[in-house]
Amino acid sequence: MNLIVNVHKGVRKVGFEMATRQAWKCGMKANLVNCVVGIAKGKVVCVIEGCRAELSTPLNNPLHDDSKQGRYIFIGGVCWEPNSLLAPGFPELMFMHLRNATSKHKYMTDDELILNLA
C-alpha cells in the first residue's frame, strides 16, 4: 500500500524528506503502508520506500509538538529526493505528475498509483 501526501506547505520549513515523513492523521491503515510518496503541486518530489508507521513522539519525531499527538510518522526506509537522481535504484515515478491530486492524503495500491501517473 502506498500513501500519497501533499507536502507543498511543509517543504520550505523542513525539506522534502521531513515534510513527507511528518505526522499524518492516518488511523490504523497506516500500518499497511510500505511506501510514502510526497507530492508538491501535483508533482512527485519525494519517495520513501520500506518505511514503517509509528505514533509520533518526541523520541522518534524531532518536530513533535502537542498538535501532532495521535498522528503517525514514517520511520526508516530509503528516501529518494531530487538530489538522488544519479543513485542506483532511483524510482521511475519521481518527477512525474499525479492525476487527481488533492490537499489530503490518499491511499493507493501499486496499480492505482501507476494508473494515476502522467
What is the average per-residue pLDDT within 104-116?
89
Q: What is the pLDDT of residue 85?
A: 80
Listed by start position, the domains of the chain span: 2-116
The pairs formed by 90-95 with CB atoms below 8 angstroms and a separation of 24 or more are 91/47, 91/49, 93/37, 93/44, 93/47, 93/117, 94/44, 94/45, 94/47, 95/43, 95/44, 95/45
Q: What is the pLDDT of residue 78?
A: 93
Concatenating the DSSP letter of every residue in 30-81 gives GGG--EEEEEETTEEEEEEES-EEEE--TTT-TT--GGGTT-EEEESSEEE-
The string of pLDDT tens digits covering residues 22-60 is 878 888 888 899 999 999 888 999 999 999 999 888 898
Q: What is the pLDDT of residue 15?
A: 86
Residue type, 49: E
Q: What is the pLDDT of residue 48?
A: 94
**Is-above-0.95 flag for pTM?**
no
Distance (Å, whole) CA 81 – CA 96? 13
Task: Write out the three cell numbers for 27.
Answer: 488511523
Listed in sequence order, the residues at least 6 apart from 111 whose beta carbon sits closer than 8 Å to its beta carbon are none
Q: Do 68 and 25 contact (CB within 8 A), yes or no?
A: no
The string of pLDDT tens digits covering residues 56-83 is 888 988 888 887 888 889 999 999 988 8
2 phi/psi in degrees, rounded to 5: -115, 145
